[in-house]
Structure 1
Amino acid sequence: MYYRNFFIAMFMLPTVVFGQEYEVCISEAQEPMMTGKYAPTWESLSQYEVPEWFRDAKFGIWAHWGPQCVEGSGDWMARSLYIEGSNEYKHHVANYGHPSEVGFKDILPLFKAEKWDPDRLVGLYKKIGARYFFALGNHHDNFDLWDSQYQEWNSKAIGPKRDLLAGWAEACRKHGLKFGVSLHADHAWSWYEPARRYDRNGAKAGVPYDGRLTAEDGKGKWWEGLDPQNLYAQNHPDSYGTWSDGMIHRQWGWGNGVAIPTVEYCTNFYNRTLDVINRYNPDLLYFDVTGVPFYPVSDAGLKIAAHFYNHNQATHSGDFSAVMFGKILTDQQKKALVWDVERGAPNDIPEKPWQTCSCIGGWHYNTDIYKNNWYKSASSVIKLLVDVVSKNGNLLLSIPLRADGTFDEKEEEIINGIGDWMAVNSECIYSTRPWHIFGEGPIAESDIAINAQGFNEGAYTAATSKDIRFTQTPKNLYVIALAWPDDNTVTVKSLSENSKFHKRRIKSVELIGYGKVKFSRTSDGLTVNLPADADRSVAPVLRIRK
């Protein structure tokens, strides 16, 4: 168990490591941190330079896929099934059983991945324009999707009986995509706390859910020999406000009364993460955290970062490719990591490359989103991509898979729509850099704030042809309208004849996929007439030679 040193860890004195006080210092006995150029301090990690491949790639696909897709009730279902009265709870009780008898551990064997074909999927993602791919290594549900050395609850032992990360990694190498792994299990500690609750109403009132079960309770059960506490991680005191369903968000940064994790727990996550780095050699790592995992209560996250960078440098023969993401970063932390904005974007051009992670639906597969046609359209995804790239960013797009490893026919239509636009217009995306300004129009001129780690992308869904975005290469300026204008006319104020951004004469304008088009340039702007016989692109791209 992870918790035998619990009381020692809770009451030990803080330890000073590299000049920083930590309440919880992990052990490197099983997985030594690789030493090298980078030490586990923000100062040392600030030597980091984002590799050019990432700046050029712009677009990645994420398979945010695991056992929480089994019930089809959406993201965080492994937590919400323990929240009495929630939709996920009701669905679980009606279809699988009461959480005092059938908990999330019992859903794991139902995750079979029986139709999963990573070679086909990664090949398709490359075809529609992705330059990197992310697999889910584990989620907050604490189930490892590989042949894990440090987590007995894993996909090789239970469910698919396969090493899923190995399959994804092999497919990425074959198709030439950079390979990323996202790891979220550090928050299982507090995320699973509802699993220790009980119903307060009805026939099962007061009967505990299965979150406090131990190995001794498994005699005669399918999970005999496994310890549920290695999955649920609930052998610790309650966090402050543990019965408040929304408290998890306030405590995400390991503050506001969340129970401090133990040495054993932090070390276990550290070991599992280094296991992934050492065995699968990913180019990218994603953590759903503020800064790095367990910071500032533990040194685990900074040691993971230092190991990742040093390991990548040692195994890539001088072709350093490592990219590690963090959320809600300080200015100093943005020098050490790549800033990730969840489902949103800043309304300016950050100096350093960044990424937004978004999804066409929910993070885990949700049948309600399918039935109600709530997916993002291909048009919405394309506009999001263009907006993000104009601001020095990349888009990591999740396309939810069903538990069997396939996407549905509505998702397929979206995938094909993205691919159709990219096949014609990708030159305004790949290897581009921001222009003097990212854009013009009603949205660009609005004050759109980021909410916590993001969550403002809804402000961009109403884009019209008056919303213009710019990207550039050394030879070309690209002007992208975020919709086809009803009157077939695009006016770009920032390219007026007295523009401070483009003082040279404009000799010609081309509509990508069509050819040269008519235009005029006055003090009001550059007015371009789009041909009536051209295909009405969801985001027409104009090329102007510099």
Structure 2
Amino acid sequence: MKKRLLLLWLAGCLSTTLFAQKKYEANWASIDSRPVPGWFEDAKFGIFIHWGLFSVPAFGPTARDGVGIYDRYAEWYWKKWSDPTAKSYPVFQKFHERVYGPNVKYPDFVEGFKAELFNPDEWAKVFEQSGAKYVVLTSKHHEGFTLWPSAQSWNWNAVDVGPHRDLAGDLIKSVKDKGLRMGYYYSLYEWFNPLYKENVNRYVDEHMIPQLKDLVTRYKPDIVWTDGEWDHPSDVWKSTEFLAWLYNESPVKEEVVVNDRWGKETRAKHGGFFTTEYELVHSDNSESMKFSRPWEECRGIGSSFGYNRVELLEDYSSSADVIHILIEKVSRGGNLLLNIGPTADGRIPVIMQQRLKDMGDWMKVNSEAIYGTRAWDKAPAFKKGNKLFFTRKGNDLYAIATEWTDQLVMDGISPKKVTLLGYNGTIKATGKGGKWTITAPAVTPSTIPCQYAWVYKLEAAVK
């Protein structure tokens, strides 16, 4: 008996030694040594949500106004309407004067931000059915208004004013009840916070860091997605100090994932996963999108993150577009964080719901070619206009065709079996010496497995 107890004690000590968490220090060398938790790279598809006071005017320029994509963000309403040097200032200024007049100030929009139709269970159902595995909500955008009862934003949060409701807390409960992971976007800076403008060090110590820690300890998010970092280097934001706390002491230290927006010098260099935005990459690798860490593309279904009431159908990506974007990013080793912009009263616009439903219908057939896959290192070099993409899971390859063709010819493979996901018939595949030809089956509207893109599974195709 004593011998058995001794062995159990030794086994426990060994287990503790093997699995004890590394102590991370407040410097980038140490912080960057933490691996990105594997669940993130396996998830592949997430939903971004931009929701706040900017959802009341819900206005931004479009391509018809002759401005670039990064000038069309409706969530930047307060800043662009207030900055005469901004390229899109005339468009915002003209709209505000015509619709609201000179006496309406941005904080007055809180009276229209009621979220009276917000049903977090319905939102979570939409997200689940889309095939997304995680959700990221704007807890606070650059306007400084928080969607939870933050003590640092007294009378400038969704519980004290406006909806009088903990929007961030209600949504995370519903999302996690569906088995999805959820986190929060958080803007490090605030455009017009007097403390930030007067004394950034006090702002960081007294406002930003306490607010971030409250968000983490209160809701235990799976993701901390920061932004608004470009005004200062990471040492001013005390980013490594916060991340050391997050990784060592916080209640989510084991599983939490963070991005790379922690200082003006950090994108695609430091932090957790790297980020792109409408394919903008803050480094010299935009063509290849080959990163040393897991990465994620974020973008809207339209050309804005916040809801823009003046966008027309032509401003929205089609269902085929968003599915093809997902395929492209995943085939290149990334994730897609696809944004929706809810209305001020708490509805997900129907056109956005429709796009997400079509993605979910496609994923029901083809999800094994997306979740848990990695880029194939021998895939043909990516070029704009590609119609054939590859993902890999173990020794299996998935050839994803975004255009239905009678034959696909592929090099460098030797599959033991070829099937078309969602199709019950036999697929003709012939090859020799690593060059294979796959013949598409004759299908009818009742036998074609899905729309928009089709996946051939090549079993044991690579070694």
Give the TM-score taking structure 2 as reference length. 0.81
Is residue 2:302 matched to residue 1:363? no
1:476 match? 396
Q: Distance in 2 between matches of 1:156 and 1:521?
A: 64
1:86 match? 90
Once the two structures are superposed, what CA deviation does each residue of 1:381-400 show, in whole Å capped at 9, x if it has no partner? 11111111122211111111
1:20 match? none
Q: 1:49 aligns with which of 18, 35, 43?
A: 35
Once the two structures are superposed, what CA deviation does each residue of 1:56-86 show, in whole Å capped at 9, x if it has no partner? 1111111111110111202311112224552
1:343 match? 278
Is residue 2:438 matched to residue 1:518? no
1:24 match? none
Contact 1:145 1:155 in 2 (8 A): yes
| 1:538 Cα deviation from its structure 2 partner | 1.3
| 1:489 Cα deviation from its structure 2 partner | 2.4
Contact 1:439 1:468 in 2 (8 A): no
Does 415-424 or 171-180 show the bigger shift?
171-180
Q: Measured at CA, do residues 311 and 282 of structure 1 come closer, stay the same or move farther in structure 2, by a change above 3 Å? A: farther
1:273 match? 212
Q: Distance in 1 between matches of 2:310 and 2:267?
A: 41
The SS at the match of 1:491 is strand
Is residue 2:225 matched to residue 1:286? yes
Percent of aligned positions that are identical = 29
The SS at the match of 1:282 is coil
| 1:525 Cα deviation from its structure 2 partner | 4.1
1:352 match? 293
Contact 2:260 2:271 in 1 (8 A): no
Q: Distance in 2 between matches of 1:429 and 1:177?
A: 16
Is residue 2:362 matched to residue 1:421? yes
Q: Distance in 2 between matches of 1:283 and 1:93?
A: 42
Q: Distance in 2 between matches of 1:121 and 1:288?
A: 24
1:211 match? none
1:310 match? 248
Contact 2:301 2:338 in 1 (8 A): yes
Once the two structures are superposed, what CA deviation does each residue of 1:246-277 show, in whole Å capped at 9, x if it has no partner? xxxxxxxxxxxxxxx52222221111111101
Larger helix percent: 2
Is residue 2:453 matched to residue 1:539? yes
Contact 1:132 1:178 in 2 (8 A): yes
Q: Distance in 2 between matches of 1:340 and 1:416?
A: 25
Q: Distance in 2 between matches of 1:56 and 1:353?
A: 10
2:149 match? 147
Is residue 2:174 matched to residue 1:171? yes
1:325 match? 259
Q: Measured at CA, do residues 372 and 173 of structure 1 come closer, stay the same or move farther in structure 2, by a change above 3 Å? A: closer
Q: Distance in 2 between matches of 1:128 and 1:309?
A: 31
The SS at the match of 1:81 is helix
Q: Distance in 1 between matches of 2:237 and 2:53?
A: 30
Q: Which amino acid aligns with 1:326?
A: D
Aligned length: 407
Q: Distance in 2 between matches of 1:437 and 1:524?
A: 12
| 1:531 Cα deviation from its structure 2 partner | 2.0
The SS at the match of 1:373 is helix
2:13 match? none
Q: Measured at CA, do residues 146 and 36 of structure 1 come closer, stay the same or move farther in structure 2, by a change above 3 Å? A: farther
The SS at the match of 2:314 is coil
| 1:439 Cα deviation from its structure 2 partner | 4.1
The SS at the match of 1:150 is helix
Once the two structures are superposed, what CA deviation does each residue of 1:283-340 show, in whole Å capped at 9, x if it has no partner? 111112558x84245152222222222244x557xxx211110149979974642111
Correspondence list, 1:10-409, <5 A: 37-73=23-59, 74-83=74-83, 86-98=90-102, 101-152=103-154, 153-184=156-187, 186-188=188-190, 191-192=191-192, 229=194, 234=197, 236=198, 261-267=199-205, 268-289=207-228, 294-296=232-234, 298-312=236-250, 314=251, 320-327=254-261, 334=269, 336-344=271-279, 346=286, 347-361=288-302, 362-369=304-311, 371-409=312-350
Contact 2:129 2:357 in 1 (8 A): no
Does 406-415 or 158-167 show the bigger shift?
406-415
Contact 1:172 1:179 in 2 (8 A): yes
Q: Which amino acid aligns with 1:58?
A: K
Listed as ranges, the gaps of 5+ residues in structure 2 are: 1-20, 60-73
Contact 1:147 1:163 in 2 (8 A): yes
Q: Measured at CA, do residues 67 and 439 of structure 1 come closer, stay the same or move farther in structure 2, by a change above 3 Å? A: farther
Once the two structures are superposed, what CA deviation does each residue of 1:148-171 show, in whole Å capped at 9, x if it has no partner? 011121111111111111111211
Q: Which amino acid aligns with 2:225?
A: Y
Contact 1:356 1:388 in 2 (8 A): yes
The SS at the match of 2:152 is coil
Contact 1:47 1:336 in 2 (8 A): no
| 1:348 Cα deviation from its structure 2 partner | 4.6
Q: Distance in 2 between matches of 1:89 and 1:332?
A: 32
| 1:358 Cα deviation from its structure 2 partner | 1.4
Q: Which amino acid aligns with 1:78?
A: W
Q: Distance in 2 between matches of 1:157 and 1:335?
A: 36
Q: Which amino acid aligns with 1:165?
A: A
The CA RMSD measured in Å over matched residues stands at 2.6
Q: Distance in 1 between matches of 2:225 and 2:305?
A: 14
Q: Which amino acid aligns with 1:469?
A: F
Give the TM-score taking structure 1 as reference length. 0.69
| 1:140 Cα deviation from its structure 2 partner | 0.7
The SS at the match of 1:298 is helix
Q: Distance in 2 between matches of 1:352 and 1:409?
A: 35
Q: Which amino acid aligns with 1:86?
A: P
